[in-house]
Amino acid sequence: MADKNQRIEYSLECYKPECTFEDGPVHVRPCIKVCPSCYGQTSKECLYVKKYDSSSSSPLDLPKYDNMALTPLADYETHHMENSLNQFSSVSCIELEADGEFFVTLLEDIYQLNCLQKQNQDKFLTNLKDMQQMLIEVTSPFKKDIYTWRKIFQIYVEYKIFVGNTESDREERSWEFAQRQLTCFIDRINNSHLVKKLKHPLSKIAYENFMKLNISLVLMKKFQYFNQLATTKLIKKHDKKTSLVSGLMFRDLIEKYFLTENTFKSLCSAMEQLTTIIPQIDDYNCPICLNIAWKPIRLCCSHVFCVRCLVKSIRKGMRNCPICRAKDAIYNADQKNLDICLMNFLDLYFPLEVHKKQTDDDRERVAEELEAITGLRIEERQTCVLL
């Protein structure tokens, strides 16, 4: 049993399947590369006897120990054996013609599938660009559908259909998970009746195109998965019948030239970029009050807060930035720190939130003034736990 395991180990180390190419990856020539350097001295002697035993009149008695005293005849035979072993070491590879036909046929089929997949990807990217232009038009801040689309995309991001959207989860989803999440997303949209709230004629067309893009991406991922699964099973069956270990070599070949994963990652990322066309309110909230940062004050450390929270912070004696603790960031802030561009942007894309925030600030400011004049507490106001 030990000798059998040793022979298997020698075969795995010294017989390595490799491939060479002619005029592209489809024209493959598989071969077994022989590496005699992997053999020990005793193994080389066994190879020599195995190669020349059939042609010699009598078997060659090999020395059992390296330091054995050699007779002139033994010295001649050893010298002859070393020359023969050196000639045997020059054998580098053995071409496998039958395996070559199998691999060429399989690669041609995979190449045709890859071309079909490439056509579908190009069509998907073209439709995606058209979808982007349509979304830019229907989600204009001057149109009434912007809030409906914002809600749709907010739900879409929550389901993480194709790619995770958190720092701890950026992995690409499998086609089964994506299909299941997409079904849940469609059911939730239908139950909330958001599509019926779309007023612009192009909005419903844009929503239908958006769903078609998601479905086509799921189908492409499913198509790729089953092609890879079928290829893997064919290679395993081939290795089982031929006793070769060409699976790893062929898998590397497929990943290098066909059915690459990076392409689908870029498609999924491009699909997720559609949701960034409409600004989301969570990206512009004040870190203290968690409402929209209306009249945004950008501190010297680049962190943005609403003006009311900074006024309260100064009253409580806070001087440093609540986030990064930048020294005297709040204390040194003045009217020059008001971000005019961001304020105009918020007023344009979030008019309802800005109006509500302004109303709450005015009510709170009036209550504080009356309380300072009369000394009476007008109403109970919620204060931030951070302050």
SS (H, E, C) 137-195: HHCCCCCCCHHHHHHHHHHHHHHCCCECCECCECCECCHHHHHHHHHHHHHHHHHHCCH
CB 32 within 8 A of CB 11: no
pLDDT (tens digit, 9 = 90+) per residue, 319-375?
999 999 999 999 999 889 999 999 999 999 999 999 999 999 988 888 888 887 887
Given a cut of 50, whether residue 79 has pLDDT beyond it is yes
User: Hey, which residues does 93 pair with through a beta bridge?
Assistant: 33
Element spanning 37, H or E: none
Query: pLDDT value at position 188?
Result: 94
Q: Is the dihedral of CA 129, 131, 137, 140 positive or negative?
A: negative
User: Hey, which residues does 30 pair with through a beta bridge?
Assistant: 19
What predicted TM-score, i.e. pTM, was given to this entire model?
A: 0.70
- Which residues in the chain are classed under CATH 3.30.40.10? 283-374
- Strand segments (E) across the chain: 15-21, 28-34, 93-95, 296-298, 304-306
**Which of 209, 190, 75 shows the shortest CA–CA distance to 132?**
209
Measure the CA–CA gap between 202 and 135, rounded to whole angstroms: 9
Query: pLDDT value at position 6?
Result: 43
Expressed in percent and rounded to 5, the helix, strand and coil fractions of the chain are 65, 10, 30
Query: pLDDT value at position 34?
Result: 60
Query: pLDDT value at position 113?
Result: 84
- Strand segments (E) across 257-347: 296-298, 304-306
**pLDDT above 70 coverage of the chain, percent:** 65
Query: pLDDT value at position 191?
Result: 93
- Strand segments (E) across 213-355: 296-298, 304-306
Taking all residues of the chain, what is their mean pLDDT, rounded to a whole number? Answer: 76
CB 214 within 8 A of CB 275: no
pLDDT (tens digit, 9 = 90+) per residue, 162-219?
877 776 676 778 889 989 999 999 999 999 999 999 988 899 999 999 999 999 999 9
| Residue 102 CB neighbours (<10 A) | 17
**What is each CA distance from 373 to 312, 366, 368, 378, 383, in whole angstroms?**
19, 11, 9, 11, 21
pLDDT band at 387 (very low <50, low <70, confident <90, very high): very low
pLDDT (tens digit, 9 = 90+) per residue, 221-274?
888 888 888 888 888 887 787 777 666 666 666 666 555 666 777 888 888 888
Contacts of 71 (CB under 8 A, 6+ apart): none
**Which of 100, 101, 118 shows the shortest CA–CA distance to 258?**
118
Query: pLDDT value at position 81?
Result: 53
**Which of 259, 230, 254, 243 shows the shortest CA–CA distance to 28?**
254
Query: pLDDT value at position 28?
Result: 63
Query: pLDDT value at position 171?
Result: 76
Measure the CA–CA gap between 77 and 67, rounded to whole angstroms: 16
| Residue 104 CB neighbours (<10 A) | 15
Identify the three-state secondary structure at position 33: strand
Query: pLDDT value at position 49?
Result: 44
Domain 283-374 CATH assignment equals 3.30.40.10: yes
**Which of 128, 129, 127, 151 shows the shortest CA–CA distance to 139?**
151
